[in-house]
Homo-oligomer: A and B are copies of this chain.
Amino acid sequence: MTEQVARAQTEPGIADQRRAQMLRAALEVISERGFADTRIADIADRIGISPALVIYYFKTKDQLLTDAIRYYEDTWYAEGRRRMEMLPTAARRLEEFVAMNLLPDRNPDPDGTALLWLDFWVQAARNPSVAAVRRKSDERWRDVLVTLVRAGQEAGEFAGIEAPSFAVLMSAMLDGLAVQLALRDPVVSPQRAFALCMSFVAGQLRFAWSPAGVGPGA
């Protein structure tokens, strides 16, 4: 195996960089204009290339958008895992999990991509391949939650409630609150959503939590 080939497998070539650049541009455009109003030309314009090149890389628009969704989910998940692993206790991890979803300054989304998941839900509802991506993503996160809760229970931090049902309820609450925030509900600020959710979670799992912990900047 020559060194050149070895490099091709490990270092991202120009093609991979281009792909990633296009995917990121796609996410930005989708977030700004909405999934349905995203045109290939918008994405090409954003990085100063021709629309034909986008098709050259992704074959069809549909493929590009599906890949973009996958790229988004993977990036988000990786970052989430990374943060979890840095925290010592189950309670701190749970808090980080809620904060990632509800507090803008702790959200791992790339800049200006705040509405993406909402658009993705709509796509998932009618497009089977998007639905599959979402299903896998949901599963992953629910596993994270269940594992996290069980670890807390074993460590004596949390009460012994049924973890899977709790994971469903908590996911639903996070999603619901995130929708309110995304649609700029006037009575729900990020801080309030965060506090409400943490109170709910702490109540269910019987661990001590007070909003003071969030700090004034949150």
Interfacial residues, chain A to chain B (CB-CB below 8 A): 33-37, 115, 118-119, 121-122, 124-126, 131, 134-135, 138, 142, 164-165, 168-169, 171-177, 179-180, 182-188, 192-193, 196, 200
**Interchain residue pairs A-B with the least CB separation, the first 7:** A36-B36, A172-B176, A176-B176, A175-B176, A172-B177, A173-B173, A122-B122
What are 10 residue pairs bridging A and B, where the CB atoms are less than 8 Å apart in the complex? A34-B122, A34-B125, A115-B126, A121-B182, A168-B188, A169-B173, A172-B173, A172-B179, A172-B180, A173-B173
Q: How far is the CA of A54 from the CA of B179 in the complex (A)?
A: 33
Nearest residue, chain B, Cβ from A195 = B165
**A37 contacts B34, C-beta separation under 8 Å:** no
Contacts of A173 in B (CB 8 A): 169, 172-173, 176
From B115, B122, B177, B183, contact of A119 by CB (8 A): B122
**A196 contacts B118, C-beta separation under 8 Å:** no
Contacts of A171 in B (CB 8 A): 176, 180
Q: How far is the CA of A142 from the CA of B186 in the complex (A)?
A: 12
From B115, B175, B183, contact of A179 by CB (8 A): B175
Q: How far is the CA of A196 from the CA of B166 in the complex (A)?
A: 9
Given known contacts A34-B122, A134-B183, A172-B180, what 19 new A-B pairs fall within 8 Å (CB)?
A35-B36, A36-B37, A115-B125, A118-B125, A119-B122, A121-B179, A124-B183, A135-B186, A142-B187, A168-B180, A171-B180, A172-B172, A172-B173, A172-B175, A173-B176, A175-B176, A176-B176, A176-B177, A176-B179
